[in-house]
């Protein structure tokens, strides 16, 4: 006669728990990702990489929410907020209004984790070491991301760093009828972030760009198709492909540096800027290096480069010129650039893109103010504030500013023209 084997209830509980855990693990979607440009910052301390947790799930969640808003937000801010909260979760004063996110995110960063000094690059494939072009990268990303106040190198997380992104969707029964639509929104948000966004700080200048084969773009035609879904966005691509993402990134950075500064912005450090801001500051302060640099720019009071993001620091070499001044958005400390430049890795080669986000035209009309280095509001004698591009006649001004002549009637679209043509 066969004997019946009794199973302890605790063993059944353990088995049930193991099966449940296995089922939950199977719901995670995994995506292998690689940094294709170095990552700056991203840690608890500003400008520093966290060696223990260089890439954080919470940061990626924030980026995905940002791209979701660009893709699916509407003019009705409350409606957008409620729809975003329903998918991505959110807190509230009333506990009943707290929403759990439908999206769970985990990240595993793979060894080895290399932190490299900002002033050198190491080619991961062949070990070659190349010096950074400080003129382009230093200008495009700001001195703070290249060197410390003591002129010491800042360490970046090396390109080539690999990580696995885990995504799990937990869509409850009432939302099942919209499940496919919600999944499409989440996947689209990931695709746009992976190809146009990044990780860490200064992602809009190409830091922390990533590549994932699961969300890769196949061609320039697909890039154009994707950007059409970003209402009111504009873009330009470098006409030639590069062998590596870092090369494409450096070329893109050089275009921005040349447009705004040394290049077509001014011939050299010995020459005067072809942009109107320096001369207008001389008019504001009645200081012109003892007559050696009398204001001569015909555009007058207009600060076109404010549209690329603020603050902007204006430093003059001579003590007889204006003191160091900061250009800021009125009543705020910073204004995020509406311009993204970064490389995109295609199936064959890499391209660089300059992308104006949907809100880019707001940057042309942002009210401005000047401050001294001591954070004191700087008022000119006649109380006239610095003027934004939108407060003047754009077409007339563009004809007076060398980098913009024959390109467009605003500085952002003029840059797209230069970015694409390189001349």
pLDDT digits (tens, 9 = 90+) for 318-369: 888 888 899 999 999 999 999 999 999 998 889 999 999 999 999 999 999 9
The residues, ordered by sequence, that sit 6+ positions from 366 with a Cβ below 8 Å of its Cβ are 306, 307, 310, 329, 330, 335, 388
The residues, ordered by sequence, that sit 6+ positions from 173 with a Cβ below 8 Å of its Cβ are none
- Return the structure tokens found at 202: 């200064």
Dist. CA 45–CA 100, nearest whole Å: 28
For 211-250, how does the pLDDT look when each residue is reduced to its tens digit (9 = 90+)?
999 999 999 999 999 999 999 999 999 978 888 998 999 8
3-state secondary structure of 40: strand
Query: Other CB atoms closer than 10 Å to residue 342's CB: what's the count?
Result: 27
Bond from prior residue into 112 cis (ω within 30 degrees of 0) = yes
3-state secondary structure of 376: coil
Query: Residue 11 — very low, low, confident or very high, per pLDDT cuts 50/70/90?
Result: low
Dist. CA 357–CA 337, nearest whole Å: 9
Using only C-alpha atoms, the chain has a radius of gyration, in whole angstroms, of 25
List, in sequence order, the alpha helices (H) in 142-219.
179-196
SS3 labels along 234-262: EEEECCCCECCHHHHHHHHHHHHHHHHCE
For 263-316, how does the pLDDT look when each residue is reduced to its tens digit (9 = 90+)?
888 877 778 899 999 999 999 988 888 888 899 999 999 999 999 999 998 988
3-state secondary structure of 236: strand
Residue 242 gets which letter from DSSP? Answer: B
For 345-378, give one letter per residue: b (16+ CB within 10 A) or e: bbeeebbbbbbbbbebbebbebebbbbeeeeeeb
For 137-192, how does the pLDDT look when each residue is reduced to its tens digit (9 = 90+)?
665 566 556 555 555 677 889 999 999 999 999 887 765 668 889 999 999 999 99
- Return the structure tokens found at 29: 């979607």
User: How far is C-alpha 227 from the geometric centre of its chain's CA atoms?
Assistant: 16
3-state secondary structure of 3: coil
């Amino acid at each position: 006669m066969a004997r019946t084997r009794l199973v302890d209830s605790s063993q059944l509980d353990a088995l049930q728990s193991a099966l449940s855990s296995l089922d939950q693990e199977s719901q995670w979607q995994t995506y292998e990702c690689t940094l294709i440009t170095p990552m700056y910052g991203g840690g608890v301390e500003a400008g520093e990489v966290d060696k223990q947790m260089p890439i954080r799930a919470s940061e990626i969640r924030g980026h995905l929410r940002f791209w979701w808003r660009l893709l699916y937000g509407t003019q009705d801010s409350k409606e957008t907020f409620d729809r975003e909260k329903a998918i991505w979760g959110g807190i509230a004063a009333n506990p009943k209004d707290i929403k759990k996110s439908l999206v769970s995110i985990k990240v595993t960063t793979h060894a080895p984790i290399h932190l490299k000094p900002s002033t050198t690059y190491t080619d991961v494939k062949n070990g070659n070491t190349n010096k950074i072009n400080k003129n382009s990268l230093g200008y495009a990303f700001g001195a703070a991301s290249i060197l410390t106040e003591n002129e010491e190198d800042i360490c970046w997380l090396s390109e080539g760093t690999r990580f696995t992104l885990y995504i799990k969707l937990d869509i409850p029964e009432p939302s099942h009828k919209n499940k496919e639509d919600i999944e499409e929104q989440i996947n689209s948000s990931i695709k746009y972030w992976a190809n146009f966004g990044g990780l860490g700080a200064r992602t809009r200048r190409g830091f922390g760009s990533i590549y994932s084969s699961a969300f890769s773009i196949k061609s320039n035609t697909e890039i154009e198709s994707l950007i059409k879904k970003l209402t009111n966005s504009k873009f330009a691509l470098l006409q030639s492909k590069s062998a590596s993402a870092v090369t494409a990134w450096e070329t893109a950075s050089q275009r921005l540096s040349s447009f705004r500064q040394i290049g077509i912005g001014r011939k050299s450090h010995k020459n005067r800027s072809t942009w109107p801001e320096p001369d207008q500051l001389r008019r504001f302060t009645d200081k012109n290096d003892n007559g050696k640099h009398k204001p001569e720019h015909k555009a007058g009071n207009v600060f076109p480069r404010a549209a690329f993001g603020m603050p902007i620091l204006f430093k003059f070499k001579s003590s007889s010129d204006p003191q160091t001044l900061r250009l800021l958005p009125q009543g705020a400390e910073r204004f995020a650039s509406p311009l993204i430049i970064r490389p995109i890795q295609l199936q064959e080669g890499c391209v660089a893109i300059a992308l104006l986000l949907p809100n880019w035209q707001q940057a042309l009309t942002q009210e401005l103010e000047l401050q001294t280095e001591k954070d004191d509001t700087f008022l000119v004698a006649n109380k006239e504030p610095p003027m934004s591009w939108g407060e003047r006649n754009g077409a007339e001004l563009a004809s007076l500013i060398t980098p913009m002549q024959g390109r467009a009637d605003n500085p952002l679209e003029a840059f797209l023209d230069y970015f694409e043509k390189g001349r």
